[in-house]
Amino acid sequence: MEKDTISFTELDFTLIKLEVKEMEKLIIQLKENFVGSTEIVNQLEVEIRNMTLLVEKLETLDKNNILAIRREIVTLKNKLKECEASKGENAPVSPSLPEPGSCGHGGVVNISKPFVVQLNWQGFAYKFGAWGRDYSPQQPDKGLYWVAPLNTNERYLEYYRLYNTRDDLLLYRYYQQNRITYGQGSGAAVYNKNMYVNWYNSGNIARVNLTTNKVEVTQSLPNAVYNNRFSYANVAWQDIDFAVDENGLWVIYSTEASNGNIVISKLNDTTLAVLNTWQTSQYKASVSNAFMVCGVLYATRILSTKTDEIFYSYDTKTGQESRLNIVFHKMQETVQSVNYHPYDQKLFVYNDGYLLNYDLFFGK
């Protein structure tokens, strides 16, 4: 048919749309039942979504390109078959995931390859910022997605967007955009429908109600240094870094008394009062970023322009410090922020303007 250059009818596109619909159904079934890392399944879902858009576009343009589309469909179908056939093969290899939101595991032992979600909504020039998903213990699977690029001065957090679903985030649609004046640095986190930020040009911390966009509490963080005294390596204005885990809200910072070593404080998420504080022996300015999981601090450092390493942990329950060697890849050179979501068990990483996801794997 290709050799004879036969034109195709409207019916051909109808059939192709049906085929793509079948693949969409199959990928949904795979996501529900897949065991192990879902990275390849997520990638296939994006490819199939792109195929749907391409078919719609070609239908309005050049119908003789239908053979090229059929070849792509065959390739995608083969990938889906391979994925379906091997969906249980990774189970014995990768440590199993604990129940979402639980701490019935032995800590982080591995991390997946990065999954690129998209470029932040402000564009490539907005290299600094943070993003993630709201975590509420009452509704752990219902959180909003939030994206907060810093202004191009790489210091002020002024605008942020909220999305109800991941699809809305991917398509830049149905968002709520708000403005505050100003948060400082890429250390923001969201917990229980509130955003927590370092208030600009000070050692104060603030709680912003995401429903009203009002700054409801501003509180001094005792003895915390600020304005690049002990920020992370290669990331300015992040002396104060908020973190969320299964136990609630934390803040990671340094003091003059700690000689620049990391200090961890557990916060009351309503009043921002400090509930407890731990001193570590890890120098903060040598760390590229940090996050909390089940009351354990995990710190990262730069290995190269393409890789970082989770190299250090501090357990607030026991006071034990450990050296780790968990290497992970990044898409761009600098990681500006890392936020953990306890229910999804993923890291939400802001990497030179790009929004990345990583799956975490836990020991028994």
The total domain count for the chain is 2
Question: pLDDT band at 320, cuts 50/70/90?
Answer: very high
Same domain, 68 and 166: no
Q: What is the pLDDT of residue 91?
A: 44
Q: What is the pLDDT of residue 1?
A: 41
Mean pLDDT of 329-356: 97
Per-residue pLDDT tens digits for 69-105: 777 777 777 777 777 776 655 544 445 567 787 898 9
- What sign has the CA pseudo-torsion 246, 250, 253, 256? negative
- Report yes or no on 32 lying in a domain: yes
Q: Judge whether 170 and 207 are in contact, CB under 8 Å.
A: no
- Report yes or no on 277 lying in a domain: yes
**Rounded to whole angstroms, how far apart are CA atoms 146 and 143?**
9
Per-residue pLDDT tens digits for 216-267: 999 999 999 999 999 999 999 999 999 999 999 999 999 999 999 999 999 9
Q: What is the pLDDT of residue 51?
A: 80
Range of the domain at 164: 108-362
Look at residue 11 and tell me whether its pLDDT is greater than 60: no
- Report yes or no on 29 lying in a domain: yes
Q: 64 or 286, which is more confident?
A: 286
Question: pLDDT band at 20, cuts 50/70/90?
Answer: confident
| Across 31-35, 46-50, 171-175, 324-328, least confident range | 31-35
Residue-wise DSSP of 41-101: HHHHHHHHHHHHHHHHHHHHS-GGGHHHHHHHHHHHHHHHHHHHHTTTTTTTTSPPPPPTT
In whole numbers, what is the pLDDT of the chain averaged over residues?
89
Question: pLDDT band at 59, cuts 50/70/90?
Answer: low
Same domain, 117 and 30: no
Look at residue 352 and tell me whether its pLDDT is greater than 80: yes
Pick from 314, 311, 343, 342: which is nearest to 327 by CA? 311
Give the relative orientation of helices 66-85 and 39-60 as an angle to the nearest 10 degrees.
160
- Report yes or no on 93 lying in a domain: no
- Report yes or no on 335 lying in a domain: yes
Mean pLDDT of 56-63: 65
Give counts: helices (H), strands (E), the chain: 4, 20
- Report yes or no on 239 lying in a domain: yes
- Report yes or no on 2 lying in a domain: no
Same domain, 161 and 242: yes
Q: Judge whether 103 and 343 are in contact, CB under 8 Å.
A: no
Same domain, 352 and 227: yes
Look at residue 18 and tell me whether its pLDDT is greater than 90: no
- Report yes or no on 226 lying in a domain: yes
Look at residue 12 and tell me whether its pLDDT is greater than 60: yes
Q: Judge whether 314 and 264 are in contact, CB under 8 Å.
A: yes
Same domain, 20 and 120: no
Same domain, 66 and 134: no
Same domain, 77 and 126: no
Q: What is the pLDDT of residue 240?
A: 98
Same domain, 327 and 241: yes
| Across 100-114, 146-160, 192-206, least confident range | 100-114
Same domain, 248 and 279: yes
Q: What is the pLDDT of residue 93?
A: 44
Per-residue pLDDT tens digits for 171-185: 999 999 999 999 999
Q: What is the pLDDT of residue 61?
A: 63
Same domain, 78 and 156: no
Q: Judge whether 37 and 359 are in contact, CB under 8 Å.
A: yes
Q: What is the pLDDT of residue 222?
A: 94
The order of strands in the sheet holding 204-209 is: 129-133, 145-149, 156-163, 175-191, 194-199, 204-209, 214-220
CATH number for the domain harbouring residue 325: 2.40.128.630
Same domain, 196 and 308: yes
Q: What is the pLDDT of residue 92?
A: 42
Same domain, 48 and 186: no
